[in-house]
A and B are shown apart, each in its own frame.
Chain A
Amino acid sequence: MNKVTTIQSRFVPITMENIDTDQIIPARFLKATTRDGFGKNLFRDWRYANDDEQQPKTDFVLNQSIYTGEILVAGKNFGCGSSREHAAWAIKDYGFAAVVSSFFADIFKNNALNNGLLPVTVTDSFLQKIFAEPVTSSLTINLEEQSIKIDTTGEKESFEINSYKKTCLLNGYDDIDYLISMKQEIEIFEQTLV
């Protein structure tokens, strides 16, 4: 997995709340058997009027060139619904490195963390401040410090992250490496279950 340290970038705001994983990546695009290429279908039905991609919906932020950057900022309860990890893959494949919201659904958060996509939980009021920023504004997310800053105003907030997950992200470790290393302990544990 990639290492995550500091991300300084402009951001793409989607103020909607309760954005579910069916919006992030609709079910009909889940038929691939690899992890790659989901970015082109990110928010597919909000981006295009039809499946032929000939009619982009111009009112959607991803279709407005003034919005750019590696940070997606969204309303609360982001990533609710289905457990599809394809949602995290799509966001990352599109080019985002972090998602900022005031509240994340549990499974999405785990999926993001397992893919080196940083979920940053901020307070409602800080989220509203970000939304109120001009499009050219940028954010700095520092994982080591567990802080997020609005660069223009210097306003800063700290965010929570499980210390174990933080270590994994800073070093690019996967849970799976650790679990594989536990094989012997797991086998001994299994004897206690019968």
Chain B
Amino acid sequence: MAKTLFEKIWDKHVVKQIDGGPSVLYIDKHFIHEVTSPQAFKGIEKRGLSVLRPNQVVATADHNVPTLNQHLPIKDELSRLQVQQLIENCKKHQIELYGLGHPFQGIVHVIGPELGITQPGMTIVCGDSHTSTHGAFGTIAFGIGTSEVEMVFASQCLMQTRPKLMRINIEGTLNKGVVSKDIILYIISKISASGATGFFVEYAGSAIRSLSMEARMTICNMSIEMGARGGMIAPDEITFSYLKGRQFAPSGEQWEKKIAEWKTLYSDENAVFDKEIHIDASLIEPMITYGTNPGLGIAINGTVPVVEGIPDEGERNNIMKALQYMGLESGKSLLGMPIQHVFIGSCTNSRIEDLRMVASLIKGRKKNEAVQVMIVPGSQQVSKQVQAEGLDKIFKEAGFEIRQAGCSACLGMNEDKIPAGEYCISTSNRNFEGRQGAGARTLLASPLTAAAAAITGVVTDVRELI
């Protein structure tokens, strides 16, 4: 029988199917970080258990870490205690920790792929909703809550009901200035912030196949922003050449064996999806959000919807409230609007290709004086690469501040916050009220669009600068 990519991986990991209930699903890799793991460690300890398969767990400190002076003790007491707790828990349970000071430290969804830990065909979980990022390699990867982290510690399994399956086909060639972040912001703007709830999404089509692994990760990363349980892309030669030679990728004979296995991971021709969506890549323009959920996005040269014209009362009220929070006007264009901050980072867009993209646009230019620009690389490895390629010099000359790796201003758990009422063009994934700091106003966009605004000081169509 024809199977989807999802079904091929899922079926292989079902330990037991409970009659009329969920499946007991085996988990290959479990990533953890300091914020959503402490209560899970406490939970298993209370039950007198230890972590069942510590060598399948990888830990890092990312959400809560400072991005300046990481060699010094963390100033915020609660943050320091949380990071310390992770160190102690990992030591006690013999879990590999890439903590502060370790050359592999970084945002959990950046380091998994770059170290070759994330491999096609795996089931991967983490107490973080952006775990969907790893789906770019043809994995079933999804975010879980802390009780589920505890379950995986205790049993290396989860009780899961199989989600419905959706395929989003994106065919055609991307326009100049349009990158993978624009593709995903476009999709979410079309199907809404809840349009894929209950589904696991496979992204397919010629536009997806043409993307690099890092670009694919950006797309899968934001699957959760339309409510999807996860997103995935079938592995191909681009996937294999990305993985080859990475720290924890298989090698030698094992590599050949794995490649043969990975080549079977695609949706069969007649495989059935519960829902299919078709998108013409040539219709996508550089995108920007104007509201307080990632589904409220428009083409950069478009206009904010006219509120009075929205038929559904709930949606109309939502958009009115969002525009009030954002200080924006219904029916207007955002182009030319002054912004105060640019944040380039997060598990969505902090990889080396993102930073190369930014550097290529700003080389020889200077940032606008009224704008503060912060670049936070996704990992220590990315930082090292930035220096090796001399991108740091380009950033410095432009007046961009480059920090150390972490989640940073994406969620404002550390000191990196946007002040109330100010605008930030951000390459992160969420524009929720207060996400980047109480009262902060976030406009989500691609690294190119963010960099363009850094140069001009206003919302800009990047195509005018390239």
A residues in contact (CB < 8 Å) with B: 15-18, 20, 22-23, 26-28, 30-35, 45, 51, 75-77, 80-86, 88, 103, 105-107, 110-111, 114-115, 162-164, 174-176, 178-180, 182-183, 185-186, 189-190, 193
Contacts and interface: CB of A to CB of B under 8 A. Distances in A.
A17 B318 contact: yes
A114 B28 CA distance: 22
Nearest to A22: B432
B169 interface: no
B151 interface: yes
B161 A162 contact: yes
B194 A107 contact: no
Given A85-B145, A107-B143, A164 B129 contact: no
A185 B293 contact: no
A16 B321 CA distance: 9
B42 A34 contact: yes
Given A33-B38, A176-B155, A179-B154, A80 B194 contact: yes
Given A164-B18, A182-B15, 14 more contacts: A17-B314, A22-B435, A27-B435, A28-B413, A31-B76, A32-B78, A84-B35, A111-B145, A114-B148, A115-B147, A164-B159, A182-B24, A185-B15, A186-B26
Interface in B210-234: 224, 227, 229
Nearest to A50: B438
B413 A27 contact: yes
A44 B371 CA distance: 29
B311 interface: no
Given A27-B413, A164-B20, A106 B227 contact: yes
Contacts of A16: 317-318, 321
Contacts of A162: 21-22, 161
B157 A105 contact: no
B346 interface: no
B434 interface: yes
30 contacts: A16-B317, A16-B318, A17-B317, A18-B293, A18-B318, A20-B293, A22-B433, A22-B434, A27-B435, A31-B64, A31-B82, A45-B433, A45-B434, A80-B193, A81-B432, A82-B129, A85-B147, A107-B145, A111-B145, A111-B146, A114-B145, A114-B148, A176-B47, A176-B151, A176-B155, A180-B47, A180-B154, A182-B16, A186-B26, A189-B15
Nearest to B125: A83
B15 A26 contact: no
B413 A30 contact: yes
Nearest to B321: A16
Given A34-B39, A107-B143, A163-B21, A18 B193 contact: yes
Residue from A105, A107, A163 whose CB has the most chain B CB atoms within 10 Å: A107
Given A34-B39, A110-B145, A105 B413 contact: no
Contacts of A178: 159
Contacts of B22: 162, 164
Interface of B: 15-16, 18, 20-22, 24, 26, 28, 35-36, 38-39, 42-43, 47, 49, 52, 63-64, 76, 78-79, 81-82, 85, 127-129, 131, 143-148, 150-151, 154-159, 161, 163, 193-194, 197-198, 224, 227, 229, 293, 314-315, 317-318, 321, 411-413, 430, 432-435, 438
A124 to B, nearest CB: 8
Contacts of B79: 31
B193 A77 contact: yes
Contact of B156 (A35, A82, A176, A186): A186
Contact of A83 (B42, B129, B163, B411): B129
B194 A106 contact: no
Nearest to A164: B21
Given A17-B318, A182-B15, A80 B412 contact: no
A182 B18 CA distance: 12
Contact of B154 (A27, A84, A176, A185): A176
Contacts of B18: 164
Contacts of A28: 412-413
Contact of A114 (B147, B198, B433, B434): B147
A183 B413 CA distance: 37
Contacts of B64: 31
A83 B197 contact: no
Nearest to A28: B413
Contact of A85 (B36, B163, B198, B434): B36
Contacts of B412: 27-28
Contacts of B224: 81, 107
B314 A75 contact: yes
B414 to A, nearest CB: 9
Contacts of B131: 83
Contacts of A82: 128-129, 411, 430
A26 B129 contact: no
5 cross-chain pairs, A with B, having the tightest CB-CB distances, nearest first: A164-B21, A85-B145, A31-B78, A33-B38, A111-B145
A81 B35 CA distance: 16
A30 B145 CA distance: 13
A185 B318 CA distance: 49
Given A106-B197, A180-B49, A186 B145 contact: no
A170 to B, nearest CB: 14
B147 A107 contact: no
Contacts of A180: 47, 49, 154-155
A33 B145 contact: no
A186 B81 CA distance: 35
A116 to B, nearest CB: 11
B93 to A, nearest CB: 15
Contacts of B52: 183, 186
B39 A33 contact: yes
Residue from B158, B314, B433 whose CB has the most chain A CB atoms within 10 Å: B314
A175 B144 CA distance: 14
A77 B413 CA distance: 24
Contacts of A110: 144-145, 148
